[in-house]
Structure 1
Amino acid sequence: MKKFVYIVTDRNRASLHVGMSADLIKTLDFYKQMPSLFFDHAQQLTRLVYFEEFKTESQALSRFKLISRFTRMQKERLVRSCNPDWIDLTIGLDFEHITMNRPIPTQVKMPLTIMS
């Protein structure tokens, strides 16, 4: 089973939170539904800016512990190394999740084109 280590932030990048999850989509949905559970309303951690995927829990746990000890500057460098514009990556994940669960049409009809 896949495991993920991730960094989420608020819209102002004031807080950087490192986490670990087996279901990244469900975890991010939780952050969005309960935004002020851990922080006040101004620091809603709803933007996924970094994540890594691992095959085993021990690999993920090791990486989680390492990144958790990073200074803020080190975390920012890590995010910028693969997401320099701090784009919210949940958009791509949601798209992937939606398309993976959508039934694949068994027959595709091509439109007829008439050339004059």
Structure 2
Amino acid sequence: MKKFVYIVTDRNRTSMHVGMSSDLIKTLDFYKKMPSLFFDSAQQLTRLVYFEEFRTEAQAIARFKVVSRFTRMQKERLVRSCNPDWIDLTIGLDFEHILMSKPINTQVTMPLSILS
């Protein structure tokens, strides 16, 4: 099962939170449903700005321990290294999740005019 280490931030990039999850979409959905659980409502951590994927939990835990000890400047550099515009990556994950959950139609259909 895949594991992810991620960084989420608020709209103004005031707060940054490092986390680990096996299901990023569910985790981000939780952040959106419980906006003031960890911080006040002005600092809703709803923007996924960075994530890494790992094959094992041990790898993810090791990386989580490293990234969570980063200073703010180091976290910002990490985000900018692959997401310089701080775009919310949730949009791409949602799209990929939708594609992966739909069965792929492999059946070839022929127009009726060819069959007659």
Q: TM-score, normalised by structure 2?
A: 0.91
Cα separation, 2, equivalents of 1:69 and 1:3: 19
Structure 2 partner of 1:81: 81
Matched, 1:41 2:41: yes
CA displacement at 1:109 relative to structure 2: 4.8
Percent identity reads 86
1:6 aligns with 2:13: no
3-state SS, counterpart of residue 86 of structure 2: coil
Residue in structure 2 matched with residue 64 of structure 1 by the alignment: 64
Query: Distance in 2 between the 1:14 and 1:80 partners?
Result: 15
Q: Which runs of 5+ in 2 are unaligned?
A: 112-116
Query: Secondary structure in 2 aligned to 1:12?
Result: coil
Match of 2:114 in 1: none
TM-score (normalised: structure 1): 0.91
Give, in angstroms, the shift of residue 104 of structure 1. Answer: 1.7
**C-alpha RMSD of matched pairs (Å):** 1.3
2-structure distance, mates of 1:6, 1:74: 14
CA apart distance, 1:107: 3.0
Please give the secondary structure, in 2, of the residue aligned with 1:87. Answer: coil
Equivalenced residue count is: 111
CA distance in structure 2 between the partners assigned to 1:110 and 1:46 by the alignment? 46
Q: Distance in 1 between matches of 2:106 and 2:88?
A: 34
CA distance in 1, matches of 2:55, 2:90: 21
Partner deviation per Cα, 1:52-74 (whole Å, 9 max, x = no partner): 00011111001000001100000
Q: Which amino acid aligns with 1:6?
A: Y
- Residues in 2 aligned to 1:80 and 1:110: alpha-carbon distance in whole angstroms: 48
* Cα distance between partner residues in 1 of 2:109 and 2:17: 47
